[in-house]
Structure 1
């Protein structure tokens, strides 16, 4: 009968040790500031010769062994990675839709944004006469939605020269600013 009782006690101690080491709680809660050696009372990590294995209850005093408090809700703090940083914007495209004239002194340009976020683009237009001479240059900025397009109406650089204006040339590259 004594052998059976000792086996049960040994089994109970081993089960409690396994449960404690794997982080399961026996119903006793310890402050997270009580890590290490000392008055953990009842918890059990490593065995010590000063521990009393002959009783099934703890005296609540210093056992001389180590205690371990498992924190199942502990998560590490995430850190910023290079993938979280914004990628540089790609330049857009600009297409001339209508050149300025005496009747309507505005040039219309369609700008496309190839980026996955809204961006600001600079558009450049050259106003030329019949010989190809650039009478004036103009630039303007337009905000374009992500993967979208926007129409920009630019005032002619010099309305006095509109009677000599033959054509407009738009720089097909719309420079991304932000």
Structure 2
């Protein structure tokens, strides 16, 4: 009977040790995790949940295919939109759809974005007289969705030019803000 009591105590201590080492605790329930995932069981935020041993740089894969480094290496997870890997933006195209007039002092321009992400483009319009001389220039910016297009209405550079305005010329390249 004395041996059975010792064996029972040993089993209880062993079970608590295993639970403690695997991140389970008795009585206290915390939902904090150092690695940002909600793994099995309750854990304390001060515990390290690496699946590797503390004796070197070995790595072990988990069931979901991710890899954890052994202690003490801690680093942030890289993202796909990291500025270090982002490609520079390509310029877009601008097409004049309608020139300003006395009836409507706004020019309409369609801007296309060839990039795989949203971008801000600068558009320039020159307002010309019948001789081809520039009366005024106007620039404006428009945000265009990834691989999309946007319509921009630009006010003429001043009401004094509208009575001498013959035509508008838009710069065909919409400059992407870098």
- TM-score interval w.r.t. the shorter chain? 0.5 to 0.7
Query: Per-residue CA shift, 1:72-102, capped at 9, x if unaligned?
Result: 6562368759995110000000000000000
Gap change, CA 1:134 and 1:145, over 3 Å in 2: same
Other-structure match for 1:157:
157
2:68 corresponds to which of 64, 75, 86: 75
DSSP-derived class of the 2:160 partner = helix
Contact 2:59 2:68 in 1 (8 A): no
Other-structure match for 1:144:
144
Contact 2:60 2:68 in 1 (8 A): no
Gap change, CA 1:165 and 1:70, over 3 Å in 2: closer
Query: Per-residue CA shift, 1:103-147, capped at 9, x if unaligned?
Result: 000000000000011000000000000000100001000000000
Other-structure match for 2:170:
170
TM alignment of 1:62-141, pairs within 5 A: 73=62, 75-76=68-69, 80=78, 85-141=85-141
Counterpart Cα distance in 2 of 1:140 and 1:127: 14
Q: With the length of structure 1 as denominator, give the TM-score of the two structures.
A: 0.57
Q: Name structure 1 gaps, 5 residues minimum.
A: 1-28, 37-68
Moved over 6 A (4+): none
Gap change, CA 1:75 and 1:148, over 3 Å in 2: same
Other-structure match for 1:62:
none
Contact 2:142 2:152 in 1 (8 A): yes
Counterpart Cα distance in 2 of 1:83 and 1:144: 18
Gap change, CA 1:104 and 1:82, over 3 Å in 2: closer
